[in-house]
C-alpha cells in the first residue's frame, strides 16, 4: 500500500483499528490477561519478548486481515521487531493493515482535572525512524478526569501541538484526549472536549487533516460534528475499560465512528490456547468489533 492507499483506507475503510500498543507499565497486566502470570519472566527483556510473541501470534493469525482490521497501533518495541523474519510494519502492510505507532511517553501527574503527556524530546527521531519503516501515522494519549475547562483546553492544545509536529513529518496523527469513563462529570467532559477540539480544528490550515480517538460519549451522537468535519480524516473510539459486548453496543449507537480497541479485542485470548482455538477466539472478537464499527443502531442511523 502506498500512502494514498492508506489514506483512502483510513478515510472510508470498513472495519476498525486494533490497538496493540500496551507499553512497559501496562505490559504485566496485559500478559496476565493473556494467561501469563507475573514471575514468568526474569527480566524486562523476557517480559517484552513474551508480549511481542503475543502480538506476533495475533498478526500472523488467519483471522487478522485487512478485510476487517484496517489499521493497527504498535508500541515502539513492537514496531522495531519482526514477525517470522519480516519487520512488523511490513508484515501488517502485507495483510492490508495500516500501521500506526504510539508516540507518547506516559502521563504527567493530574492537574486541573487532567493528565497531560510527558515531554517527548526524541519525537523527531522516532517519527523519522517510523516513517522509514512504512508507518503511516501516530497515536498520542492524554486523560481527562473531570470537567475542568482550563484543564481540557490544555490537553487539547498540547494534543494539537504534537499533532502538528507529526504532520510536519508527513505522517497522520491520531489525537487521543481520553475521557475517563469513571468520571462523575463525564457528560460535561464530552461537551467541553467537543468545543475545544472544534476550536483547534478551525485553527488548522485548510487541506490539513487529523484523526481523533475518543472515549465513547455518554450521549450518542455527541461527536457527530467531528465525524463530519472536513479536517478530520476519521473518528475512532477506545473501549476505555468497557467489556467488549458493552463497548460494541455503545459504539453501534455512534454513526460514523469505528473502534480502536485494545483490551476489548484481546480479553478472551489465552497463551494456553491451541492455534485453532486462538484463531477462532480472535476471529469472534474481530467479528463483534467489526459489527459495532460498521452496523449502526437504527435509532442513530435514521
Output the CA angle 66-168-78, nearest 5 degrees: 40
- Domain coordinates in residue numbering, the chain: 3-301
pLDDT digits (tens, 9 = 90+) for 112-155: 999 999 999 999 999 999 999 999 999 999 999 999 999 999 99
pLDDT digits (tens, 9 = 90+) for 277-299: 999 999 999 999 999 999 998 54
- The catalytic position among 176, 178, 196, 250 is 176
Told to judge if 176 belongs to the known catalytic residues of this protein, a careful annotator would answer yes
Classify residue 119 by burial, with Cβ atoms within 10 Å: 0-12, 13-18, 19+: exposed
- The catalytic position among 213, 250, 253, 296 is 213
Q: Where are the alpha helices (DSSP H) in 206-295?
A: 224-227, 244-252, 263-266, 275-294
Class of domain 3-301: alpha beta
Do 20 and 262 meet the contact criterion of CB atoms below 8 Å apart? yes
Q: Does position 50 have pLDDT exceeding 50, yes or no?
A: yes
Residue 119 DSSP symbol: P
Of residues 205 and 240, more confidently modeled: 205
**Mean pLDDT, to the nearest integer, of 61-85?**
95
Alpha-carbon gap, residue 148 to 116, rounded angstroms:
13
Task: Report pLDDT for 216.
Answer: 95
Task: Report pLDDT for 159.
Answer: 98
pLDDT digits (tens, 9 = 90+) for 83-99: 999 999 999 999 999 99
Banded pLDDT at 39 (limits 50, 70, 90): confident
Q: Does position 300 have pLDDT exceeding 80, yes or no?
A: no
pLDDT digits (tens, 9 = 90+) for 243-268: 899 999 999 999 999 999 988 899 89
pLDDT digits (tens, 9 = 90+) for 101-121: 999 999 999 999 999 999 999
Told to judge if 267 belongs to the known catalytic residues of this protein, a careful annotator would answer no
Q: Does position 276 have pLDDT exceeding 70, yes or no?
A: yes
Task: Report pLDDT for 298.
Answer: 55
Ramachandran angles phi, psi of 7, nearest 5°: -60, -45
Do 244 and 222 meet the contact criterion of CB atoms below 8 Å apart? no
Do 230 and 204 meet the contact criterion of CB atoms below 8 Å apart? no
**Mean pLDDT, to the nearest integer, of 56-69?**
96
Amino acid at each position: 500500500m502506498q500512502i494514498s492507499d492508506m489514506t483512502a483506507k483510513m478515510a472510508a475503510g470498513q472495519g476498525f483499528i486494533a490497538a496493540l500498543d500496551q507499553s512497559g507499565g501496562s505490559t504485566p497486566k496485559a500478559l496476565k490477561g493473556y494467561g501469563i502470570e507475573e514471575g514468568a519472566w526474569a527480566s524486562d527483556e523476557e517480559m517484552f519478548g513474551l508480549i511481542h510473541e503475543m502480538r506476533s501470534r495475533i498478526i500472523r493469525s488467519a483471522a487478522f486481515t485487512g478485510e476487517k482490521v484496517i489499521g493497527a497501533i504498535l508500541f515502539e518495541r513492537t514496531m522495531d521487531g519482526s514477525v517470522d523474519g519480516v519487520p512488523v510494519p511490513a508484515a501488517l502492510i502485507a495483510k492490508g493493515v495500516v500501521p500506526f505507532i504510539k508516540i507518547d511517553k506516559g502521563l504527567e501527574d493530574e492537574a486541573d482535572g487532567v493528565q497531560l503527556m510527558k515531554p517527548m524530546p526524541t519525537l523527531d527521531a522516532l517519527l523519522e525512524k517510523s516513517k522509514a519503516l512504512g508507518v503511516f501515522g501516530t497515536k498520542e494519549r492524554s486523560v481527562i478526569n473531570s470537567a475542568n475547562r482550563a484543564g481540557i483546553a490544555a490537553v487539547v492544545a498540547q494534543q494539537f501541538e504534537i499533532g502538528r509536529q507529526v504532520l510536519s513529518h508527513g505522517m497522520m496523527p491520531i489525537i487521543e484526549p481520553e475521557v475517563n469513563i469513571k468520571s462523575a462529570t463525564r457528560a460535561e467532559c464530552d461537551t467541553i472536549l467537543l468545543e475545544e477540539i472544534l476550536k483547534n480544528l478551525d485553527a488548522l490550515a485548510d487541506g490539513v487533516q487529523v484523526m481523533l480517538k475518543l472515549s465513547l460519549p455518554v450521549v450518542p451522537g455527541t461527536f457527530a460534528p467531528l465525524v463530519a468535519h472536513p479536517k478530520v480524516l476519521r473518528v475512532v473510539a477506545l473501549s476505555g475499560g468497557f467489556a467488549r459486548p458493552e463497548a460494541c453496543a455503545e459504539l453501534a449507537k455512534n454513526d460514523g465512528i469505528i473502534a480502536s480497541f485494545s483490551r476489548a479485542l484481546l480479553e478472551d485470548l489465552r497463551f494456553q490456547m491451541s492455534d485453532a482455538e486462538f484463531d477462532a477466539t480472535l476471529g469472534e472478537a474481530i467479528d463483534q468489533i467489526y459489527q459495532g464499527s460498521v452496523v449502526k443502531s437504527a435509532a442513530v442511523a435514521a
